[in-house]
């Protein structure tokens, strides 16, 4: 079975937001660009599904998209591709580390700020369960005592 899943797309020049949206979605799933419109992910069920959704969005926006499985012969080698993924994920982790250090610095100073949508704090805050009200906390306390 081929080791890599490729998305090859051609997007219309307009609307510009389509190009930005496709680029963001590819970045979100961790795809690495081989060329301007050729992206690769290690082959797995989830990567195939992710790239299929992105391809469908590109086509719905008036573009073309092709999804295929591949093994590379020669360049890029498996090691070259793995290194590209390591570099990309290293840059992502460094960005998160910078944001985490900034939040820690602000917390130590006591300076609270509203996090922006892309911040680590925003993403973390969104994943937390909604705060419990006093009534719901009392109800769960009563039910545990019964």
> Averaged over 65-94, what is the pLDDT?
76
Q: How far apart are CA 68 and CA 118, in angstroms?
A: 31
Question: Do 40 and 63 fall within a single domain?
Answer: yes
Which tokens is 117 given?
């949508």
Question: Do 52 and 37 fall within a single domain?
Answer: yes
DSSP 90: H
Total domains in the chain come to 2
In a domain, 39, yes or no: yes
**Predicted confidence (pLDDT) per residue in 92-108, tens digit:** 666 777 788 888 888 88
**Predicted confidence (pLDDT) per residue in 9-52, tens digit:** 999 999 899 999 999 999 888 888 888 899 999 888 998 999 99
Q: How far apart are CA 66 and CA 37, in angstroms?
A: 10
In a domain, 57, yes or no: yes
Sign of CA dihedral 5, 83, 31, 21: negative
Question: Do 60 and 85 fall within a single domain?
Answer: no
> Averaged over 120-133, what is the pLDDT?
46
Give the H or E element holding residue 54: helix 45-60
> Averaged over 118-122, what is the pLDDT?
55
> Averaged over 81-90, what is the pLDDT?
70
The pLDDT of residue 4 is: 87
The pLDDT of residue 125 is: 47
> CB of 4 within 8 A of CB of 81?
yes
Between residues 120 and 26, which one has the greater pLDDT?
26
Question: Do 54 and 104 fall within a single domain?
Answer: no
Give the H or E element holding residue 64: strand 64-70
**Looking at the whole model, is its pTM more than 0.85?**
no
> CB of 31 within 8 A of CB of 84?
no
For residue 78, how many C-alpha atoms fall within 13 Å in the half-sphere facing its CB? Answer: 7
Distance of CA 109 to the CA centre of its chain: 31
Residue span of the structural domain in which 119 resides: 75-128
Give the best-scoring range by mean pLDDT among 62-71, 84-93, 134-143. 62-71
Q: How far apart are CA 54 and CA 87, in angstroms?
A: 23
């Amino acid at each position: 079975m081929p080791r890599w899943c490729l998305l090859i797309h051609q997007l219309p020049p307009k609307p510009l937001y389509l190009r930005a949206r496709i680029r963001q979605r590819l970045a979100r799933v961790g795809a690495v660009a081989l060329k301007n419109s050729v992206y690769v992910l290690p082959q797995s069920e989830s990567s195939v599904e992710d790239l299929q959704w992105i391809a469908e969005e590109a086509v719905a926006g008036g573009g073309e998209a092709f999804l295929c499985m591949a093994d590379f012969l020669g360049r890029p080698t498996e090691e070259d591709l793995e290194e590209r993924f390591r570099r990309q994920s290293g840059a992502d982790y460094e960005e998160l580390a910078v944001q985490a250090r900034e939040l820690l610095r602000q917390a130590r100073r006591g300076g609270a700020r509203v996090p922006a949508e892309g911040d680590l704090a925003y993403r973390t805050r969104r994943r937390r369960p909604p705060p419990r009200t006093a009534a719901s906390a009392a109800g769960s306390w009563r039910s545990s005592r019964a």
